[in-house]
Chain A
Amino acid sequence: MRVLVVEDDKEVASYLVKGLKESDFVVDHAADGKEGFMLAASESYDVMIIDRMLPGMDGMSIIKAVRAAGNQTPVLILSALGEVDDRVEGLRGGGDDYLTKPFSFTELLARLEVLIRRARQTSETETELRVADLEMDLLSRSVKRDGQDIDLQPREFRLLEYLVRHAGQVVTRTMLLENVWDYHFDPQTNVIDVHISRLRAKIDKGFEYPLLHTIRGAGYSLREN
C-alpha cells in the first residue's frame, strides 16, 4: 500500500509517517504544497493524505489539479480546527473524506482503509453480501444467518449493510453517523452503542460465535473471529 502524506507540520507529519509505517504502508512525505503536487502528479499511490493549509500551494488546489489531470486516487483531507465546518467544501472540491485535526490515528486508519477498499471495488453493484454464515440480500432486503431469517428494521438493515461492506475493518462511530444516518454531528450520548447492541442482539444472540465486535477506543468491526 503506497500512501502520500502532504503535511507541513513536522510533528503531525512524523506521527503520521511513523503510524502508517507500523501499519504496513509505504509512505512518501512532502512538507509543502508544491513538492506534494509534484509527487502526486508523478507517482502512483493507493491513497493520499493532504493537509488543507500548506505553504507554497494549498491542499485544495493540489486536489483540483490532480483531479483535472484525470487522477482518481482517493484523497483524505486533513484540516485544522478552524475549518471544521468546511467539510462540505473539501468534499465538493474533490476530496473523498475529511478529517479534522487533531485526529485519532484509529479514525484516520479506518477511513484510509475504507477509501482504499472503495477504490479497488469493482463498479458492478452487488446484490448479495456475505460474511461467514451471515447473508444479506439487498434486493429482497432479507437477512439470514446460518439459514435462519433475521428480521431487521430499515435503519438496522442499513447499519448492518455498512458493517458488512466494511467487514474486517474497523468502523468508527463517526463513520457510522455519517454513512448510515447521513448527518455530520456529535451525539451527546452513546446512542450508537445502543443501536449496535440492538443489532447484535438480532444477529449474534443464540449463534455459535459473535460477528459484531467492539474495538475498544476505536469503534466496531464485523468479522468472523
Chain B
Amino acid sequence: MKINRLIRTSTFQLAIIYMALFATSVFILLGFIYWATAGYMADQTDETIEAEVLGLAEQYQRHGLNGLVSVIRERVARDPNGKSVYLFTARNRVKLAGNLDQWPVEVLSKESLSEEGWLNFVLEKENSPWNVDRLVRGKIFVVHGELSLLVGRDIQELMTVKKLIERALSWGMGITLAFALMGGVMMTRSMARRIEMFNVTSQRIMNGNLALRIPTKGTHDDFDQLAANLNMMLDRIVQLMEGIRHVSDNIAHDLKTPLTRLRNQLETTLLMVKEPEAKEEVGKALAEADQMLATFNALLRIARLESGGKLTHVSEVDVSALVLDAVEFYEVLAEEKEQRLELSVAPDVQVNGDRDLLFQAISNLIDNAIKYTPAHGTIKVEVETVGVQVIIRVLDSGIGIPESEREKVFQRFYRVAKSRSEPGNGLGLSLVSAIVSLHEGRIALSDADPGLCVELTLSQVSHIPMRRRLNGKQSSSA
C-alpha cells in the first residue's frame, strides 16, 4: 500500500493518536527519572557545599580568621586529591588559603568579589590540583565584607553521569518512538490491508463479478465475521437477482403463448377489415405485438443459452466470411445514415462454434454500432489473429459508454441513459455476452475515443498439419 494512502486510513490516524499519548507518557516517565536522579545528585552536591560552608563558618566564629585559614589548610592537606575546592583571599585577592591559586575567570570578570552566590566554572588543569579540566560548582562568601571565600566541589563526574542519563533517556525516548511508529505502521498495514481487501473485492463485485466473495482468514476475528456477514448478504442478493431473472424468464415464457394468440387474432382481423385507416391501426398493433414477441424471444433465448452451458451445434466456422456477411447485411443501414464502414478483416480465420449464434453476436454488435453512431460517423470492423486467438473488434464513433456503466450493459434490459431514446430492448449485449461465454471467449468494452470499442476474443482453430502435431514439435497450447 502506498504510504500516502496509508496515512489517510483511519487506522493509521488512530495509531498516530495512540503513539502521541504513548510518547507523552514515556516522556513524563523518563523526565521524572531524570529529575529524580540528576536532580538528586545536584542537590547532594549543593548540600555538601552548604555543609562545608556551615562548618567553616562555625570555625570562623569560634576561632576567627586564623582558625578559618588553618581549617581550610587542614582540609586541603587531608585530602589533596579530594573533590573539594577552597580559595580564601584577602581584599586584594591575595590568597590566604585553599587549593586554588587564583579566582576562576568567571569570577574575575566580575566587578568585585563582594557578590555572594552560586556559580559553576571550569577549572583548567594548570590551575587545579587534578591536572585535568574539571567542572566545579561553588559558592562564594564574603567574610567581613572584604575577605572572599570560595567553597566548591568537583562536579565533573556528576556532569558525566548526568550526560549519561540524558543520553540514555533520549535514546530510550527515540527507540520507544521508533518502535511505536513501526508498530503503528505495521498494525495499520495489516488492518488496512484487510480493509483494502474488503474494498477491492466489493468494488469488483459491484462491477458485475457477482460470483466473487470476500476472503476470510479463518481466524474468526471481527474482520472474519464482517466478511462472513457481507458474503451472506451477497449470497442473498445473488439469490434475489436469480429470482428476478427466473421470474422474468417465466413471465416471458408464460406470456408468449397468449401474446402469440393475440397476434394471430390481429392477423385475422387485418384480413377482415376493409377500411384503410382501420387496416393501418391493426397493422400498428401487429407491429407492437411483434416487437413484444421479439423481446420475449430474445430474453428466453438468453436464458436458455446461459443455462445450457454447452454448444450443441459446433462446426468449423469461417469467421472472416461470417463477419463480411454480417457487414454486408447491415451495410444498407449505414448507407442510410451516410456512415463510413471501414473493414480490416484477415482472411480465412477459423473458429469452432455455432455459426448462427456467432452471426447473431456479430450482427448485434454491428447493429449497435450503426445505431449509436451519428450520421456521417465511422464504423470499423476488424478481424485479426494474435497467436491462437481471434480478435474481432467493432468500433464506432458514437457517444460511447461511460466507464462506470460498462459492466452493467451486459445485464438484461440495462440501457445507458443516453440511448434510451433509441429503439431497442436492452438485451442485445446480454445476448452477445451469453454467446461469447458459450464459446469460451471474452468480451471487453473500451474507449474508441470517441465512441465504443467492443472486442471479442475467441480461440482459433489451429491449422497445423497432422504430421507436425504428431512429431510433438508443437507446443500443447496450439
Interface secondary structure of B, over-half rule = helix
Chain B residues near A189: list those with CB within 8 A.
333, 367, 371, 423
Contacts of A103 in B (CB 8 A): 260
B287 to chain A, nearest CB (A): 7
Kindly state the separation between the CA atoms of A82 and B301 in the bound complex, as whole angstroms. 9
Chain A residues with Cβ below 8 Å from B156 are none
Q: Is the CB of B423 within 8 A of A186?
A: no
Q: Which of A27-35, A66-74, A84-92, A138-146 contacts B (4 or more CB under 8 A)?
A: A84-92
Known A105-B267, A217-B286; judge A84-B304 contact (CB<8 A). yes
Residue pair B264, A15 in contact (C-beta under 8 Å): yes
- Binary flags per residue of A70-106, CB closer than 8 Å to B gives 1, else 0: 0000000000011011101100000000000011111
Quick check: is B277 within 8 A (CB to CB) of the other chain? no
Q: Is A216's CB under 8 angstroms from B283's CB?
A: yes
Q: Is B157 positioned at the interface, with any CB of A under 8 Å from its CB?
A: no
A191 contact set on B, CB distance < 8 A: 329-330, 332-333, 367
Which residues on the B side are within 8 Å of A85 (C-beta)? 304, 312-313, 354
Contact with B along A205-225 (1 / 0, CB 8 A): 000000000001110000000
A21 at the interface (CB under 8 A from B): no
B363 x A187 contact (CB < 8 A): yes
Nearest CB of B to A19, in Å: 8
A81 to B253, Cβ gap below 8 A?
A: yes
B428 within 8 A of A: yes
Query: A80 → chain B, closest Cβ, in Å?
Result: 10
Cβ of A185 and Cβ of B267 under 8 Å apart?
no
Give CA–CA (A191, B327) in the complex, Å.
12
Q: Which of A88, A106, A186, A216 contacts B279 (CB 8 A)?
A: A216
B363 lies within 8 A of A185 (CB)? yes
Query: By the criterion CB–CB under 8 Å, are B363 and A194 in contact?
Result: no
Task: Identify the closest chain B residue to A183 (Cβ).
Answer: B359
Give bound CA distance, A102 to B290, whole Å: 12
Using CB atoms, name the residue of chain B closest to A178: B356
Q: Quick check: is A195 within 8 A (CB to CB) of the other chain?
A: yes
Whether A181 contacts B325 by the Cβ 8 Å rule is yes
Query: Is B360 an interface residue, CB under 8 A from the partner?
Result: yes
Number of interface residues of B (CB under 8 A): 45
Q: Are A217's CB and B304's CB within 8 A?
A: no
Kindly report which residue of chain B lies nearest to residue A85, judged by CB atoms.
B312
0/1 interface trace, chain B 409-445, chain A, CB 8 Å (1 if under):
0000000000000011000100000000000000000
Complex CA gap A66/B373 in Å reads 53
Q: Which bracket fits the contact residues of A? A: 20 to 34
Q: Is A155 an interface residue (CB 8 A)?
A: yes
Question: Which of B266, B283, B294, B304 is A82 in contact with, Cβ under 8 Å?
Answer: B304
Residues of B within 8 A of A194 (CB): 332-333, 336
Q: Among A102, A186, A195, which residue has its beta carbon within 8 angstroms of that of B332?
A: A195
Instruction: List residues of chain A with CB within 8 A of the CB of B359.
Output: 183, 185
Q: What's the minimum C-beta distance from A127 to chain B, rounded to whole angstroms? A: 26
B128 at interface (Cβ–Cβ under 8 A)? no
Flag whether A2 is at the interface (Cβ < 8 A): no
Residue B73 lies at the interface, judged by CB distance under 8 Å to chain A: no
Q: Which residue of A lies closest to B311 (CB)?
A: A85
**Is A198 on the interface with B (CB-CB < 8 A)?**
yes
The CA-CA distance from A189 to B287 in the complex, in Å, is 12
Quick one: which of B260, B294, B360 contacts A102, CB cutoff 8 A? B260
- Considering only CB atoms, which chain B residue lies closest to A173 in the complex? B290
Contact A185 B360 (CB under 8 A): yes
Q: Which of B263-284 contact A (CB under 8 A)?
A: 263-264, 266-267, 270, 279, 282-283
Contacts of B270 in A (CB 8 A): 216-217
Among B267, B300, B325, the residue within 8 A (CB) of A104 is B267
Tell me, in angstroms, the Cα distance from A191 to B297 when the chains sit together: 18
| Chain B residue contacts of A102, Cβ below 8 A | 256-257, 259-261
Q: Which residues of B contact A123 (CB under 8 A)?
A: none
In the complex, are the beta carbons of B266 and A217 less than 8 A apart? yes
Which residues of the other chain, A, contact B294 by a CB distance below 8 angstroms? Answer: 186
| In the complex, per-residue mask of B97-114: 1 if CB is within 8 Å of any chain A CB, else 0 | 000000000000000000
- Known pairs A181-B325, A216-B286 / 13 extra A-B pairs, C-beta < 8 Å: A15-B264, A89-B312, A102-B259, A103-B260, A105-B267, A181-B329, A183-B359, A185-B356, A187-B363, A188-B424, A189-B333, A191-B333, A194-B336
Considering the complex of A and B, which 10 residue pairs feature the smallest CB-CB distances, nearest first? A102-B260, A217-B286, A216-B283, A185-B360, A194-B332, A184-B356, A183-B359, A188-B367, A102-B257, A105-B264
Give me 29 A-to-B residue pairs in the complex whose CB atoms sit less than 8 angstroms apart, sorted by A's number.
Answer: A19-B264, A81-B253, A82-B304, A85-B312, A86-B312, A105-B267, A183-B359, A185-B359, A185-B360, A185-B363, A186-B294, A186-B297, A186-B301, A187-B363, A187-B367, A188-B363, A188-B368, A191-B332, A191-B333, A194-B332, A195-B332, A198-B332, A216-B279, A216-B283, A217-B263, A217-B266, A217-B270, A217-B282, A217-B287
| Chain B residues proximal to chain A, CB less than 8 Å | 253, 256-257, 259-261, 263-264, 266-267, 270, 279, 282-283, 286-287, 290, 294, 297-298, 300-301, 304, 312-313, 325, 328-330, 332-333, 336, 354-356, 359-360, 363-364, 367-368, 371, 423-424, 428
